[in-house]
Amino acid sequence: MIPDSFKQDLLNRVDIVEVVGRYVQLRKAGANYSGLCPFHNEKTPSFTVSPAKQFYHCFGCQKHGNAIGFLMDYGGMGYVDAMKELAASVGMQVPAQQPRTPQEAQQKAHEGGLAALLEKAMAFYRAELKRSPPAIAYLKKRGLSGEIAARFGIGYAPDDWQALKAAFPDYDDARLVECGLVIQGEEGKRYDRFRGRIMFPIFNRRDAVVGFGGRVIGEGEPKYLNSPETPLFHKGEEIYGLGHARAAMHEARRALVVEGYMDVVALAQHGVGYAVATLGTATTPVHVTRLLRELRENGAELVFCFDGDAAGRKAAWRALEVSLPLATDTNPIRFMFLPEGEDPDTFVRQHGRQGFESLIGEAQTLTGYLLGELRARSDLSTAEGRARFQVNAKPLVQQLAAPVLRMQLVRALAPLAQIAPDYAESYFAVEAAPAAAPRKAGAPRTAAAVPRTEEQHLLRCVVANPALAQELEDELLDPGMPEAGALRAIAADLAGHEAPSGGMLVDRFNGSEYEQIVFRAQASALETNLDADSAAHEFRQAQLALRVRRKHREIESLKGQLGANPALNVQLDRLVKELHQLKAQRS
Ligand SMILES: [Zn+2]
């Protein structure tokens, strides 16, 4: 497991506003930032991010979490990958993990076993390629050299139901099914998933093979077949060829995203080494984020390459929509379209590197492509058409995260819509979010915002200012209150340690019995903009109220015994005096 001290350090260094801001357009609203919730559909922003408390909360759908949780929920990453992503963004390295439980150790060993099987299968397929003249002839016909095939680990799966038996004498091993190499038929018969196909190993970020893509030789369906989702392979997260492309990407200051692995390999063969492919999925925010991060140098560009047909146009528009909130002012995003009927493989074979790169040179900029599409959808020679153009453009312009580029786009839109630049700037401006999470006039605060018991007061103060847990007098708490347990847990964690941040508390209580209580307290602190100083004041007042409560109880209990022992009167007088002193401290 990753040590808590590292997580704390990481969450302290990461700016959650910047992390969430890569995906969601955020506006400053008082001490916090708010925007349209990416987890549910809404027209007015109820999604709030607190830089001081390092977590986000949606007052609409109650989604709640820290920077790690956001990448998991929105980016679809696993816990460790989310942490690695964050660590890389601030130049930290996640320490090697020690499995915490025997089950974890077992799981890790199991995944290691699966990876070894895939490695062995890759070696088998590569050896088979050398022994298969038809497969070699096929690759030669596509213009691929032995050197490129070796670089990408390309192999061949023989057209045989159980060819893998030669590599795996224990063909009945259940793990062969689990890692996607073998299919268990309905009548208990097992057979190879990939048969008669050119095999492209798919490597993860650590350059370990996690799956395969197979291209059928000659006719046959499907033309392309991928490994299924397995414990190792998640196709929405992987980018084919990234490891091979990295050096060329930095040299060319460009990443090119194409649709298939055959395209990547063919381009590399012709000297265009900076191409990568998504694995049969539409462009996702995870893809764009990861590639933009790879291209950190100022000015390096991300180019999407699509077929010129209707399907290609549709995929391109989808990529544009995903890119708008991720675009920056420093790394241009462009879109190129191939002539109809061509793909990168056929085009580069016919026109070579120079021809292909001159086509990249003609690629449309993000804003150019956006404007072109919008113009094509409205008749700008009529007032009605221009109105439609302006209305259609608005949500897209507002999605564009890069502020300078957005201003440029607005300047370009104004003459097309025949509106004055000043008017355009106000029309396309992103409305400032209201200062607090918005509520309809007269509507009550959410239940979370209003603390009802002193224990609820204490907990919301502690999540806003965790160091306060040191002052907690836990004998004052009513053990029947669910908040009492959470408060004790935080106080116990704190003993002798640095105060945890809000983001760390989210992590600490995820999946625990107090999860909901702590999240509610954080939401309450967020909604009322509770800062550390006000929290300290409120905390002390609540604890004072608890002391008063206890004094009242002592007095009541003493009164019950008075009849039997009048000498207790002296003690009662003292208690009442103490009660008055306590009350005098309250403000
Ligand atoms: Zn929401």
For residue 416, report the distance from its CA to the centre of ligand 1, in Å: 36
For residue 569, report the distance from its CA to the centre of ligand 1, in Å: 59
For residue 35, report the distance from its CA to the centre of ligand 1, in Å: 10
* pLDDT in the model for residue 365: 96
CA 414 to chain centre: 35
DSSP, collapsed to helix, strand or coil, labels residue 381 as: coil
Give dist(CA 524, CA 57) in Å, integer: 10
For residue 439, report the distance from its CA to the centre of ligand 1, in Å: 14
The two tokens of residue 224 are: 């392309």
Q: For residue 205, is it left (φ>0), alpha (ψ between -120 and 50) or beta?
A: alpha
Q: Name the DSSP class of 453.
A: S
Q: pLDDT below 50 — which residues of the chain?
A: 432-445, 447
CA 257 to chain centre: 20
How crowded is the C-beta side of 287, counted as CA atoms within 13 Å? 29
For residue 67, report the distance from its CA to the centre of ligand 1, in Å: 16
For residue 169, report the distance from its CA to the centre of ligand 1, in Å: 52
For residue 335, report the distance from its CA to the centre of ligand 1, in Å: 32
pTM of the model: 0.63
For residue 26, report the distance from its CA to the centre of ligand 1, in Å: 14
Give dist(CA 556, CA 578) in Å, integer: 14
For residue 520, report the distance from its CA to the centre of ligand 1, in Å: 15
For residue 441, report the distance from its CA to the centre of ligand 1, in Å: 20
Give dist(CA 556, CA 79) in Å, integer: 52
For residue 524, report the distance from its CA to the centre of ligand 1, in Å: 16
- pLDDT tens, position by position, 363-397: 999 999 999 999 999 999 999 999 999 999 998 99
For residue 570, report the distance from its CA to the centre of ligand 1, in Å: 59
For residue 37, report the distance from its CA to the centre of ligand 1, in Å: 5
* pLDDT in the model for residue 97: 66
For residue 393, report the distance from its CA to the centre of ligand 1, in Å: 25
For residue 55, report the distance from its CA to the centre of ligand 1, in Å: 14
For residue 292, report the distance from its CA to the centre of ligand 1, in Å: 26
For residue 21, report the distance from its CA to the centre of ligand 1, in Å: 15
* pLDDT in the model for residue 436: 42
Residue 70 in contact with residue 16, Cβ under 8 Å? yes
For residue 109, report the distance from its CA to the centre of ligand 1, in Å: 38
What is 141-175 written as a DSSP string? HTT--HHHHHHTT-EEE-SSTTGGGGT-S-TT-HH
For residue 521, report the distance from its CA to the centre of ligand 1, in Å: 18
Contacts for 90 with CB less than 8 Å, ≥ 6 apart: 10, 13, 14
The two tokens of residue 489 are: 């847990």
* pLDDT in the model for residue 383: 95
For residue 529, report the distance from its CA to the centre of ligand 1, in Å: 19
What is 352-372 written as a DSSP string? HHHHHHHHHHTPEEHHHHHHH
For residue 437, report the distance from its CA to the centre of ligand 1, in Å: 12
For residue 48, report the distance from its CA to the centre of ligand 1, in Å: 9
* pLDDT in the model for residue 345: 93
For residue 66, report the distance from its CA to the centre of ligand 1, in Å: 15
